[in-house]
Structure 1
């Protein structure tokens, strides 16, 4: 029986300090029938040279050099030239266990529309924390897939399945057929634009037990809490994209998922204002909450977060008065000061 070909797509942008660690974890996979596509998205460091060097020493590696267009445009370019039966996505500052491809492929039944979901480890400050999907490990098909996954993908405080395109194995056609929903202009939460439609079209989803194959590197240098003046507009683009995806698929009661997910995404916009916004942050917070009918949605679905940060945010958002916005800002400032 012919071995399945896995196309591993790695977007590369200014990651020279981590790239070799990432590539070594891929080229040394115990499953060797790989097509490794490195997409240099206009890197301005030594990353392109590292990519070319690895390609010279491994015939499975192909390098694409392109102008900078952002993460989504990079992995889409990789998909467009891929030839694999399955696709796997790995970001260039992350790395994977060397048995990841073999272990994930073992769980594939070879049918169209299946998605294999592994778990991941966050590597931060020299410490590792394991993270798992909220749904129980197992095989989801038929009514179980419809009710447990497709009708419950979004709108929860903790997503039932991670919306990251990484740590998963997709049949190539499931990604290609849904790239029509991808908008490279969306810079925040952009993986939702491909993972959501892929899962909605899936016929079989496998959530692996343990399977801590993927190591997500939390780069403190890129995670500084800075105010993003365009965050609200970016979130609105994402909310609109999610609505377009849901409305085009035959999913029962998608409206509830969309409205609740919108509220949780808007929490990020309000958090951005309270945490980093300067003059006018209260007015901007009020504008967000009024324009998006936050209180109406929160009351309609009786949104009561469990996370303390989200509890604070929903308290502010239900009635974004000067007092509540000011109190929220002080609490975030104290938290950031204590936690560095």
Structure 2
């Protein structure tokens, strides 16, 4: 039985989707314990074709909106626990297992981000600063920090 759903909203993500989904398929949590749902906002490239062999479900929505794509994917999920992963993201090997653990006794959770080695030093420094700010708000018992999507 699936315990958690990983929803990946997409729109013309052919450059990143295979890497993202391959990464999500190779987690420490047993693959039978989670599902991968791709929620596509009517891509005009090969995103859907590349995602088909790597996702459990693919749903296509007509509206081109990150928020609508996430909501559409959440409705298609078969579990009450849902985590969202952007298509250009490479999750750590323990990401899904960690999300499952974090959500067991929580209503919602969020986490810091980190840069890839190939990113410029400026981008890597920005992500380190952003992650530090996020962790500080939790340490100060004021865990409210705005998120973003690039």
TM exceeds 0.5? yes
- The answer to whether the 8 Å contact 2:9/2:69 transfers is yes
Instruction: Supply the distance in 1 between the matched residues of 2:146 and 2:28 (Cα, whole angstroms).
Output: 25
CA RMSD of aligned residues (A): 2.6
Instruction: Supply the distance in 1 between the matched residues of 2:97 and 2:65 (Cα, whole angstroms).
Output: 30
Residue 25 of structure 2 is matched in structure 1 by 27
Q: Deviations over 1:176-224 (max 9, x none)?
A: xxxxxxxxxxxxx8xxxxxxxxxxxxxxxxxxxxxxxxxxxx6xxxxxx
Structure-2-length-normalised TM-score: 0.77
Q: How does 1:108-257 map to 2 (within 5 A)?
A: 108=103, 110-111=104-105, 113-123=106-116, 125-127=119-121, 128=124, 129-130=127-128, 131-132=131-132, 133=134, 134-137=136-139, 148-149=142-143, 160-164=144-148
Instruction: Supply the distance in 2 between the matched residues of 1:40 and 1:65 (Cα, whole angstroms).
Output: 5
Residue 278 of structure 1 is matched in structure 2 by none
Q: How far off its partner does 1:120 sit? A: 1.0
1:74 counterpart SS class: helix
Mark the runs of 5 or more structure 1 residues left unpaired by the alignment: 56-60, 139-143, 150-159, 165-188, 190-217, 219-340
Cα gap change, 1:26 to 1:161, in 2 (>3 Å): same
- The answer to whether the 8 Å contact 1:4/1:85 transfers is no
Q: How far off its partner does 1:107 sit? A: 3.9
- The answer to whether the 8 Å contact 1:8/1:35 transfers is yes
Answer yes or no: is 1:90 the counterpart of 2:85: yes
Cα gap change, 1:88 to 1:126, in 2 (>3 Å): same
Instruction: Supply the distance in 2 between the matched residues of 1:15 and 1:135 (Cα, whole angstroms).
Output: 32
Cα gap change, 1:4 to 1:48, in 2 (>3 Å): closer
Higher fraction of helix: 1
2:137 counterpart SS class: coil
Residue 12 of structure 1 is matched in structure 2 by 10
Higher fraction of strand: 1
2:112 counterpart SS class: strand
Q: Deviations over 1:236-273 (max 9, x none)?
A: xxxxxxxxxxxxxxxxxxxxxxxxxxxxxxxxxxxxxx
Q: How far off its partner does 1:63 sit? A: 0.6
Determine which structure has more spread, i.e. the larger CA radius of gyration.
Answer: 1
Residue 67 of structure 2 is matched in structure 1 by 72
Mark the runs of 5 or more structure 2 residues left unpaired by the alignment: none
Q: How far off its partner does 1:53 sit? A: 2.7
- The answer to whether the 8 Å contact 1:39/1:74 transfers is yes
Q: How far off its partner does 1:26 sit? A: 0.8
Cα gap change, 1:39 to 1:4, in 2 (>3 Å): closer
- The answer to whether the 8 Å contact 2:25/2:54 transfers is no
Q: How far off its partner does 1:48 sit? A: 1.1
- The answer to whether the 8 Å contact 1:10/1:38 transfers is yes
